[in-house]
Structure 1
Amino acid sequence: MRHRKSVKQLGRTHAHRKAMFSNMVTSFLKHERIITTKEKGKVLKRISERLITRAKRNIALSAKDESKKLHNKREVMRVIRDRDVVKKLFDDIAPRFKDRNGGYTRIYLLGNRPGDAAEMSLVELVEKSFVEKKTGDGIQEVKKDTKKKEKKEAAKKEPKKEEGKEAKKEPKKEPKKELKKELKKESKKEGKKGKDKKDAKQTKAKKK
């Protein structure tokens, strides 16, 4: 009997469930959002928030408490096997939530999935990512998303402006002038030919 057991079995064995959520948490923290079923999303929210809280403990610890920091990292690595994701969790995600006590994730309901009509949900982190920049005055927080967008927009706009300038520098009147000159030359040649023909006709008429 499963009295007083809060773990949702989700129709899977313990080993299957453990491996599944290990993969889901890894991909969730890597991409900072994931689409899954409503029931799986609720369990994923619980597990990921516990891991973020565990990673936040290292922020308060001093350099002397290396053993405690290592312990927290090893506890996280029991669930997340990807070292890059663990590094991101401790260096990027945990500092983002240092002023927030819980509630690091949110769930959006997306309606039913076609086929089996399972309730789908989107799980994502509440805070967006930022980079810490060390300056003389202190540490500045710069959002990644906005900076990338600004760079992309600038890169898109620059070549268009340059092309526009080049087009302005090269006026469209020059080819028209050249065409006009060519047409004038041709018309002059035709005029000369016409005169020559008339003169030839007149000379023939006089001879007759």
Structure 2
Amino acid sequence: MRHQCRVPKLGRPTDQRKAMLRGLTTQLIREGRVTTTKARAKALRDEAERMITLAKNGSLASRRRAIGYIYDKQLVHALFDKAQDRYGDRQGGYTRIIRTVPRRGDNAEMAIIELV
């Protein structure tokens, strides 16, 4: 049963939400840190950690799944090359969320999510 296993909706339809999370994941892996709202950062954490876990696995099937999710193919190859060295001894917890000042205008809770 899926009781209380809700996906954070983030105020968007499913296709827009998935595209936004794919874009944020790509940006996080490329830049190393992203400033966004706290709710988006928490949703992004799951996707980013899933991609890093795939990269640690390193199989061809994992690489193909990551290429299907991350927008930049060269970024996927770079992630797979360095993930085992960087996160080999770590069992999850590849990202860190740091709360920052509220956004001016709508007072939304902001956060910085970064790779550890």
Normalising by structure 2, report the TM-score: 0.93
CA 1:94–1:120 in 2, change beyond 3 Å: closer, same or farther? Answer: farther
Partner of 1:19: 19
Identical columns (%): 43
Q: Tell me how far apart the structure 1 counterparts of residues 41 and 69 of structure 2 sit (CA, whole Å).
A: 16
Q: Tell me how far apart the structure 1 counterparts of residues 75 and 15 of structure 2 sit (CA, whole Å).
A: 22
- Asked if 1:89 corresponds to 2:70, the answer is no
Partner of 1:103: 93
Deviation at 1:74, TM superposition (A): 1.0
Q: Contact (CA 8 Å) 1:52, 1:94: kept in 2 or not?
A: no
Q: Where do residues 104-183 of structure 1 align in structure 2 (5 Å cutoff)?
A: 104-126=94-116
Q: Which has the larger radius of gyration?
A: 1
- Asked if 1:70 corresponds to 2:60, the answer is yes
AA at the equivalent of 1:24: L
Q: Which runs of 5+ in 2 are unaligned?
A: none
Q: Where do residues 21-40 of structure 1 align in structure 2 (5 Å cutoff)?
A: 21-40=21-40
Q: Which runs of 5+ in 1 are unaligned?
A: 59-68, 127-208
Q: Contact (CA 8 Å) 1:53, 1:94: kept in 2 or not?
A: no
Q: Tell me how far apart the structure 2 counterparts of residues 111 and 19 of structure 1 sit (CA, whole Å).
A: 26
Q: Secondary structure at the match of 1:112?
A: coil
- Asked if 1:49 corresponds to 2:49, the answer is yes
Deviation at 1:4, TM superposition (A): 3.2
- Structure with the greater relative contact order (CA < 8 A, sep ≥ 6): 1 or 2? 2
- Asked if 1:5 corresponds to 2:19, the answer is no
AA at the equivalent of 1:93: A
Deviation at 1:3, TM superposition (A): 4.8
AA at the equivalent of 1:125: L
- CA deviations 1:41-83 (Å, max 9, x no partner) are 001111101110111012xxxxxxxxxx221111112210211
Q: Tell me how far apart the structure 2 counterparts of residues 22 and 109 of structure 1 sit (CA, whole Å).
A: 22
- CA deviations 1:90-135 (Å, max 9, x no partner) are 0123420001111111010002001000000001111xxxxxxxxx
AA at the equivalent of 1:91: D
Q: Tell me how far apart the structure 2 counterparts of residues 106 and 99 of structure 1 sit (CA, whole Å).
A: 17
Superposed structure 1 runs of 4+ greater than 2 Å apart = 2-6
